[in-house]
Chain A
Amino acid sequence: MIAETGLAALWLAAMLAGAQLVFAWMAVARGAEPAQRLIRPIAVAQGVLTCGAMALLILLFLRSDMSVYLVAANSHSLKPLLYKFAGAWGNHEGSMLLWVAVISASGAAVALFERGLDKRTHYATLGAQAAISLGFYAFLLLASNPFARLNPPVEDGQGLNPLLQDPGLAFHPPTLYLGYVGLSVAFSFAVGALLTREVNARFAKAVRPWVLAAWILLTFGITAGSYWAYYELGWGGWWFWDPVENASLMPWLAATALFHSASVLAARDALRAWTVMLAVIAFAMSMVGTFLVRSGILTSVHAFAVDPTRGTFILALLGLYIGGALALFALRVHTVNEGARFEPVSREAMLVLNNLLLCVILALVLIGTLYPLLTEMMGVRVSVGPPYFNAVIGPLTIALMAVLVVGPLLRWRKDDPKAMVRRTTPAMIAAALALIAVIALSAGAIGWLSALGFAAAAAVALASLLPLWKRNLLRTPLYTWGMVVAHLGCAVSLAGMASESAFSQERLAAARPGEKFELAGYTVAFDHVLPIAGPNWTAMEATLTVSRNGRVIGTAKPQSRFFADPPTPTNESVQMTRLGGQLYLVLGDQLEAGRWQLRIWWKPFVTFIWAGGGLIALGGALALIGRIRRERRHKAAPKPARERFA
């Protein structure tokens, strides 16, 4: 019964979404009174129904109901509880249901909590939201029903893939989905505002929390994914410019540009058309990302969750929504007037530059990812990989950081070029000192990109703190703190990247137990290798004693592990985090004559990469909380206070 109830709830929700779309049209186009009253309750009911359906699916997984196809195919009664729970969305159908549930839940939230927007735009936004949901309902109900029954039911589910049982994998995809959905809400706002021609600061303020929330989740998801790849793959790499990674990076880039330009629109009522455009691009990128991952169009290695018919469906939705929105943009945008003016030396101008660079980076990632597909159609197979992306995106990132140094130190609308030079001088000095220091430290043997990376990191670190200079820190608004922390995070992350690429050291060895290896001042003694068994794996485990200056600082036990069902070997690497970096230890294959392959890396300050990512997400969270609190206070005491960006 549970499965049937879930399915019924989904159909009902789909019908409500249809009604919501019709009523929204009536409310906006004709100003129909009854329709206006009905829209918001319908949106809320829709959210409740889909969340209920999702809860029912989770219940089916928890109860290991093997009469449901999805459960039988993706779960097992002996699976640990956490993975039964996460198993509900660890597959195509379940993840689409999660997607729909989150979309309609956020639709309900928009209906309930949005107060600042004018009524008609609000209805139009909910209408756009319903239109998006409808497409996904169709996808879910017609092409990927999560509640399909299996007749006859099976005894138990299919074998559990031990590799899927990683907390990272259980929660990484939903984090990204949530981010994507947040961008879909921003898209709905943009379409709503275009329809009612109300692209203004109120629109920007309404859209900003959603973009920020989505951006925080994407930042977190990308950071976690990168760290996961770093420790799981066992070769010390942390970013590979793989199509799936690029698919998650592109929406993030667009969202970053979007909330910066939305901030300009909210604070200064400038960049109206551009902000709307970015909202469309951001959602387009999250759909493109989903499409690239799900359709398997680019890499044959992603052998599962890949299905061309699903790809076609997503592509059709993509074409409909984004194509429609871009056409609407082209037709309507001339009715949006330009907004407030600003000078070339002003914070607005720097934010325009920020947006320009982010969009160029985004376009290059997209082009680089799709280019092999393009040439393949012309009969030439090429690869576009790290050498290309690093070469073109590296310098652009440095330029972006330079803008980041200057931007927050400028006034709105118009600033004095001399004052700009004066205020940025400390940061320039920091950059120069850092440049000299790393060149001296590496005796000149450092790539220019890494060297500039260090310089930019130093400048950004200093400049990011300057907005706090001579300010009462307790009375500084939370969103200013958010900006400071996030920008500082950029510096930290960049420093980690530069340090990892410039100063990593590597030691590969065919090691015999008893031997010792020196790397970066650490001595790694290879004591012995012993077989060891876990619940569903066996492994050879090495014992490595690590010491520095004759003092033992720890023991590492990397494993060469073998899972029995399905037969899967993995390298369980060990990272020893020290103050100045990480020692990365891997036990490889067995070689002849009692030797083992041992891989040791010293990666100075590598953890900064993800710590910086964490800071960026934290900064976003502070900004979000700060904004929401401020809105609340405004509602309590509605004084027309002029908004400041920082």
Chain B
Amino acid sequence: MRRLLPLMLVCAAPAFAQTALPPAPYADRQLEDPAQEAKATALMHTIRCLTCQSQSIADSNASMASDMRSEIRERIKRGEEPEHIRAWLIERYGDWISYKPTAEPILWPLWAAPALLLGAGGVLAWKRIRHKRKGSA
């Protein structure tokens, strides 16, 4: 759990001042509509914090993360779709900002990996078992 220390050092708000203002309105306030709030929360958990780079903005104390939470909640409240907001952020920060790997061609191998590994492993295991069966018959 070594990672926690630097995180707390970097991300803690008051010590390394990151703001002179109180947090944005929806940084830590839920949306009134629970369905919208659920959408916003789900999205926030998949957006990477720019300040403390190994947390999502939903788990971060950094001021920029709380501003981004507020931005996302406000946009959801206006009726914007989560995936549209994600695309908007990716357009500005690149794929890095999304913890959810996108459908870019460079990420195809990553999405194919589970099927490939299971397939190859399954074939290998099945061959061994069947081979043995024949041998014993």
Question: Which A residues form the contact surface with B (CB < 8 A)?
Answer: 161, 163-164, 168-169, 172-173, 225, 228-229, 232-235, 237, 240, 242-245, 293, 299-305, 338, 341-344, 349, 352-353, 356, 359-360, 363-364, 367-368, 371, 375, 378, 380-388, 392, 396, 506-510, 562, 566-571, 588-592, 597, 599
C-alpha spacing A233/B15, complex, angstroms: 16
7 interchain pairs (CB within 8 A)?
A237-B59, A244-B3, A341-B133, A342-B132, A367-B110, A381-B95, A383-B97
**A396 contacts which of B3, B15, B29, B114 (Cβ < 8 Å)?**
B114
C-alpha spacing A562/B9, complex, angstroms: 11
Closest A residue to B13 by beta carbon equals A589
Closest A residue to B60 by beta carbon equals A235
In the complex the two chains form, is A240's CB within 8 Å of B96's CB? no
B41 at the interface (CB under 8 A from A): yes
Closest B residue to A349 by beta carbon equals B129
Closest B residue to A567 by beta carbon equals B15
**B114 contacts which of A240, A338, A364, A380 (Cβ < 8 Å)?**
A364
In the complex the two chains form, is B14's CB within 8 Å of A562's CB? yes
The answer to whether A341 and B136 touch (CB under 8 A), given A172-B1, A588-B28, is: yes
C-alpha spacing A352/B54, complex, angstroms: 36
C-alpha spacing A304/B59, complex, angstroms: 22
B52 at the interface (CB under 8 A from A): yes
User: Nearest Cβ distance between residue B25 and chain A, in whole angstroms?
Assistant: 9
In the complex the two chains form, is B96's CB within 8 Å of A387's CB? no
- Secondary structure call for the A interface: mixed
Chain A residues with CB under 8 Å of B129's CB are: 342-344, 349, 352
B135 at the interface (CB under 8 A from A): yes
In the complex the two chains form, is B117's CB within 8 Å of A364's CB? yes
Chain A residues with CB under 8 Å of B3's CB are: 242, 244-245, 299, 301-302
Question: Which B37-51 residues have C-beta < 8 A from chain A?
Answer: 41, 45-46, 48
Total residues of chain B contacting the partner, CB 8 A: 59
User: Nearest Cβ distance between residue B9 and chain A, in whole angstroms?
Assistant: 6
C-alpha spacing A228/B7, complex, angstroms: 14
B68 at the interface (CB under 8 A from A): no
In the complex the two chains form, is A367's CB within 8 Å of B113's CB? yes
In the complex the two chains form, is B12's CB within 8 Å of A568's CB? yes
In the complex the two chains form, is B99's CB within 8 Å of A163's CB? no
C-alpha spacing A338/B14, complex, angstroms: 63
**B106 contacts which of A228, A301, A303, A375 (Cβ < 8 Å)?**
A375
B107 at the interface (CB under 8 A from A): yes
Q: A381-B94, A509-B29, A589-B13 are in contact. List 20 more A-B contacts (CB 8 A).
A: A232-B1, A233-B4, A235-B60, A304-B2, A304-B6, A356-B122, A360-B121, A364-B117, A378-B106, A382-B102, A382-B106, A384-B99, A385-B100, A386-B45, A387-B45, A562-B15, A566-B9, A567-B15, A568-B8, A589-B22
In the complex the two chains form, is A383's CB within 8 Å of B98's CB? yes
In the complex the two chains form, is A386's CB within 8 Å of B99's CB? yes
Chain A residues with CB under 8 Å of B12's CB are: 568-570
User: Nearest Cβ distance between residue A415 and chain B, in whole angstroms?
Assistant: 13
Closest B residue to A225 by beta carbon equals B1
C-alpha spacing A638/B41, complex, angstroms: 63
The answer to whether A381 and B96 touch (CB under 8 A), given A169-B1, A368-B110, A392-B114, is: yes
